[in-house]
Amino acid sequence: MNKSKRMDQRLYPIATLLLAIVLWQMVVTLGGIPLYILPSPLDTVNALISDFGTIAGHVGMTLYESIIGFTLSILLAFVLGVMMDSFPIVKKSLYPILIVSQTIPTIALTPLFIVWFDFGLLPKVLIIIMVCFFPICISLVDGFEKVDKDYLNLFRTYKASKLQTFIHLKLPYALVNFFSGLKIAATYMIMAAIIGEWQGGTKGIGVYMVRAKNAYALDKVFGAILVIVIISVAFIYVINMIAKKTTHWK
């Protein structure tokens, strides 16, 4: 792709976004809409700046939960993915259940988690795992399965062991798939943490949002949303960078 084309790709969405923001500002200012109904973009940015210290503290907690949950999700997905690939019976038993389990509304379960595990870190981490584990695990398992049969035969003629076939063939082959699952999980990660925090807790951006909403400080709620968006985008960007480095042949 040449440079001007790449510029184009960025320019159009940015221009559209700017236009939407200007329109939003005009509607709020000219229509005289009060802050407790809809804050303007300027109100949002102001709230973010004036309350930055508090927000940063809450965000720190949310990030902490998210990173623990995300790391555990990856580990769990790997362990289960490798098990399902190595032992067909594990896959046959678990794969359909995993798919169906995704129809369970996570939001409906979160209050129960609070009942069972109290208001601390554990329920939040569990919710993140519930949301993030699935896309990572499924993409990994599908990646293992997609390995070309001719490649597997090649490794058989070289008399490669199961472990060698895994390290030199299956794992790198599945890596591209794995990263696309990781990106999906990353978009859900912060959201899952916030859903957990809404149910109760003392710190976290979700807690901050509930408090701000209860005080009708919608500018702060919007400020928090803005922060969440920025963090999520930053996460996906980092994963993209790592993916590009690790799957350089793509």
Partner 1 sequence: MQDRTLAGKANSAARECDALIRLDRISKSYGASEILKDIALHVGKGEFVSILGPSGSGKSTLFNIISGLVPADEGTVHVNGQIGYMQQKDLLLPWKTVLDNIVLALDLKGQDKKASRAKAEALIDRIGLRGYERKYPSELSGGMKQRASFLRTFLASGEIMLLDEPFGALDSITKSNMQTWLLEMQKALGITILFITHDIEEAILLSDRIYVLSSRPGVLKEELEVGFNRENKRERLVNPELLIMKEAIKGLL
List of residues contacting partner 1 (CB under 8 A): 148, 150-151, 153-160, 164, 168-169, 172, 175, 247-249
Q: In three state form, how does the secondary structure of 25-46 look? A: HHHHHHHCCCCCCCCCHHHHHH
Single-letter residue type at 115: V
Closest to partner 1 by CB, 170 or 220:
170
For partner 1, the closer of residues 36 and 158 by Cβ is: 158
Instruction: Give the list of residues 6+ apart from residue 213 with CB closer than 8 angstroms, or none.
Output: 221
To partner 1, the closest distance from the beta carbon of 23 in angstroms equals 46
At closest approach, how far in Å is the CB of 158 from partner 1? 5
Residue 33 DSSP class: -
How far is CA 67 from its chain centroid? 10
Cβ 121 to partner 1 shortest distance, Å: 38
Alpha carbons 121 and 118: distance in angstroms, whole number: 9
Q: Closer CB to partner 1, residue 92 or residue 162?
A: 162
Distance of CA 123 to the CA centre of its chain: 17
In the complex, the smallest distance separating the C-beta of residue 157 from partner 1, rounded to whole angstroms, is 5
User: What letter would DSSP give residue 215?
Assistant: T
Q: Which is nearer to partner 1, 95 or 151 (CB)?
A: 151
